[in-house]
Amino acid sequence: MTINKNFKSSTFFLIALFLVWNLDASAQKKHEIFRQEVDKIISASKSDVGVAIMGLEDKETFLFNEGHKYPMQSVYKFPLAMAVLDQIDKGKLSLSQKIHVTKKDLLPNTWSPLREKYPNGEVDVKISDLIGYAVSNSDNNACDILFRLVGGPKKVDHYIHSLGIKSIAIAATEEEMSKAWNVQFTNWCKPRAMLRLLDLFYKGKNLSKTSTNFLMKTMTETTTGPNKIKGLLPKNTKVAHKTGLSGTNEDGITAASNDVGIITLPNGEHVAVVIFVAHTKLDEKSRDAVIAQISKKAYDYFLAKK
């Protein structure tokens, strides 16, 4: 009887071991297929594409060309907003505080819904609204007003580095970037660094719950880049994201077309996605399609895991 019991115990153990091995092998195969699918999209784009993807609950991570320094363009308004909210959490500022915006603050020839609403300036605008303009609407004038409010790009750069995010540089305002093509490359980020920042933000460890919820809502209300991360996702998928886009030079090269954010899956779990499309001759529709295709692959992969 003892031998029979030991035999049964050993058999059950071997069966369980076999099933676990099979599950691990299947998961690894799906992992590799997903990598191959994204690699194929990147290769077909004939562009410099940096990608970082993470399941925020299980931490499974994918990195593509993550060692390159990509120009962020307006994506850097996300870390800027975090720096402003950090000052609010410390009691140095408040969301309801009003900032006087003069006509000189509203530069012409730059993207600015704020200027369109108040063309003559001389208006008091709440910090909460300035963050909304800068993040949800990617307003360049609102961005630079917020930079001045917290002491400039170097202060924001120092704050982000203090969180342990090192492979990122925030050096120039929107006004400075508009003056020369090469200035945009001083505001750079590696995909892994932006992924880590999204993860920290999602965890809510560096900002208060109120500030985290406010910025998450503001990013969910983003109006720019509807065909980027959200482009191929099911309608009404919640995506908290920040886009970035450069101009196109005389050689037909677009330096940056970006989108970074957090996708909420139907099962309530989340996927952080960072996609930088750089140094590309693709038109806007094709650039957006690259981002949308990769995002949809990530959505499908992580949803299928459950």
Note every long-range contact of 96-104, with CB atoms under 8 Å and residues 24 or more positions apart, other chains counting. 96/126, 96/127, 96/128, 97/126, 97/127, 98/124, 98/125, 98/126, 98/127, 99/124, 99/125, 99/126, 99/127, 99/130, 99/145, 99/149, 100/124, 101/125, 101/145
Please calculate the CA angle 156-162-168 and round it to the nearest 5 degrees: 60
284 annotated active-site: no
The per-residue b/e assignment along 40-74, b for 16 or more CB within 10 angstroms, e otherwise, is ebbeebebbbbbbbbbbbeebebbbbbebbbbbbb
Interatomic CA distance for residues 57 and 156, integer angstroms: 28
Q: Is 81 helix (H, G, I), strand (E, B) or coil?
A: helix
Pair 238, 221: CB distance under 8 Å: no
Interatomic CA distance for residues 120 and 262, integer angstroms: 36
The single residue of 74, 112, 136, 138 carrying the catalytic annotation is: 74
Pair 259, 225: CB distance under 8 Å: yes
User: If you write DSSP's letter for every residue of 119-158 in order, what string do you get?
Assistant: TT--EEEEHHHHHHHHHHS--HHHHHHHHHHHT-HHHHHH
The single residue of 136, 174, 211, 295 carrying the catalytic annotation is: 174
174 annotated active-site: yes
Interatomic CA distance for residues 42 and 50, integer angstroms: 9
Residues labelled catalytic: 74, 174
